[in-house]
Amino acid sequence: MKATILVDNNTIIDRYFLGEPGLSVLIEQDGLRVLLDCGYSGVFIENARRMNLDLLHLDWVVLSHGHLDHTWGLADLIRLYTEAGINGVAHRRPRLLAHPQALVTRIAGKIPEIGAIIGQDKLSRHFELAPSREPQWLSERLVWLGEVPRRFDFERTEATERRLVGEDGLSAPDDLVDDSALACVTDRGLVIVTGCSHSGVCNIVEHAREVTGQERVADVLGGFHLLNAPASRLKATADYLEALDLDGLHACHCTDLSARVALARSCPLRETGSGTVLDYPTGQ
């Protein structure tokens, strides 16, 4: 399995890639090319160009959840495909996998939209939509985890002002049940790639173990949504991850400095940012 971070909040010293508050990861495994999230803008496309990576021939686009910093780049991906069509450049129509709630309207206080800005109707013109609440195997080794059970009390968070808006115009609290992740069975153990981990990074790891039947976890890559987290949660998270005996831990995106410092005390935390490329043996 090969994972390339196309965009992250962080950039790496002496690597000339762009960053933004968002995340996009290209995963290549079992002959498949899977794009997890599209960031906030077209920055992921520019970084892919700088790395000479082809985004015109993706098999899957997978949304970890519906927030703007993971879905608004879909508009730029559609623009890329549209211009390719106009110019007679060959490209593929990928499948788009997401939880059914990932594409609904979301509001936060007076902000009228923090969710996807392109609805299912228009997306279906560019992608083969594959909504699912259940885990979906994309290959023999790579699986999308679907809804993640909330097991650990220390990962439960207080209700926020974020709300879902239905077709009837009525709103309801947004519990982010659409938040999910990818897991790959490698020769070293599971590699789990998260978007924001709103459902809890430890919850995600436990669910990945259950779905795959694999106990050993080699690496967790992605956003952990540890922003201004209380010390008790940071300790419980670090203790859980330390007990996994990971080969590496690539916390990025929505993992703040205090969280990284806390994790680095007991976990093999690695520098991560736009342009990071990670390879994991899978016997292929």
pLDDT band at 265 (very low <50, low <70, confident <90, very high): very high
Tens digits of residue pLDDT in 77-87: 999 999 999 99
Continuous segment of H or E residues that includes residue 248? strand 248-252
Q: Flag whether pLDDT at 284 surpasses 80.
A: no
Q: Flag whether pLDDT at 13 surpasses 60.
A: yes
Q: Which residues of 91-101 are buried (b: 16+ CB within 10 A; e: fewer)?
A: beebbbbbbeb
| Structure token digits, residue 72 | 């608004």
| pLDDT reported for residue 147 | 98
What does the mean pLDDT of the chain come to?
96
Q: Is the pTM of this model over 0.75?
A: yes
Give the residue numbers spanning the domain of 238: 2-132+140-279
Of residues 132, 279, 260, the one with CA closest to residue 201: 260
Q: Flag whether pLDDT at 29 surpasses 80.
A: yes
**What total of structural domains would you count in the chain?**
1
Query: What CATH code is carried by the domain that includes residue 268?
Result: 3.60.15.10
The pLDDT of 13-21, averaged and rounded, is 96
Q: Using CA atoms, how far apart are residues 179 and 156, in angstroms rounded to an integer? A: 14
Q: Is residue 238 part of a domain?
A: yes
Q: Is residue 284 part of a domain?
A: no
Q: Is residue 44 part of a domain?
A: yes
Tens digits of residue pLDDT in 188-241: 999 999 999 999 999 999 999 999 999 999 999 999 999 999 999 999 999 999
Q: Flag whether pLDDT at 179 surpasses 90.
A: yes
Cβ partners under 8 Å of residue 52, min gap 6: none
